[in-house]
Amino acid sequence: MDCVFCDILAGKIPSAKLLETESLYAFLDIAPANKGHALIIPRTHCQDILGVDPKIGEDLLSTMQRIARAIVNVTGAKGFNIIQNNGRVAGQEVDHLHWHIIPRFDRAEMPLWKQGKYESMDEMMRLATTIKLQI
Ligand code: AMP
């Protein structure tokens, strides 16, 4: 299987490593939205968030906190985004699950999404009910 992030984990492709844990690897994104933009990936390959073992949750949150604190300290960012894309339509280009940590300096530099609306409160409530039945 051809996977650029598996090649990074295997040391076949160089990366600007930040941290390794039992289940995760963190490194700088090669084409940063802002300098300091980092990626966290699971060591075990899976395509997206639906395929990962939820047991990595504690390691993931603690790694996110450690990386984000360090990036903010070093870059002087005023905030940061944590973004995780699933599927091409959602902007996923690399098919190995990853979380982006992006330092932010100015809200206007990167609008995240255009806010939409429901036709009515009833429409929103009906959709919530339908989704709840699938959980
Ligand atoms: P996504 O669009 O969510 O799949 O993000 C994939 C990210 O991986 C992009 O931001 C790329 O810049 C980044 N990327 C791709 N190849 C490499 C690499 N060899 N080293 C570091 N980052 C990479």
- Ligand 1 atom at minimal distance to the Cα of residue 13: 19
pLDDT at 110: 85
Please state which architecture CATH assigns to domain 4-132: 2-Layer Sandwich (3.30)
CB-ligand 1 contact for 109 (6 Å cutoff)? no
Q: Which residues of the chain have pLDDT under 50?
A: none
98 is catalytic: yes
- pLDDT attached to residue 113: 87
Report the pLDDT value the prediction gives residue 1, as an integer from 0 to 100.
Answer: 80
Q: How far is the CA of 5 from the centre of ligand 1 (A)?
A: 8
- Which contacts qualify for 40-47: CB closer than 8 Å, 24 or more apart? 40/64, 40/67, 40/98, 40/99, 40/101, 41/5, 41/8, 41/9, 41/96, 41/97, 41/98, 41/99, 42/97, 43/9, 45/1, 45/3, 45/5, 45/6, 45/96, 46/96, 46/97, 47/95, 47/96, 47/97
Query: Over the stretch 37-67, which tens digit does the pLDDT of each residue have?
Result: 999 999 999 999 999 999 999 999 999 999 9
Distance between Cα 123 and ligand 1 center (Å): 37
Spatial distance between the Cα atoms of 74 and 59, rounded to a whole number of angstroms: 22
Residue 80: burial class (beta carbons within 10 Å; 0-12, 13-18, 19+): buried
* Ligand 1 atom at minimum distance from 93 CA: 4
Give the start-to-end residue ranges of the domains of the chain.
4-132
Exactly one of 37, 45, 96, 98 is catalytic; which is it? 98
Ligand 1, atom 20: closest residue by C-alpha: 30
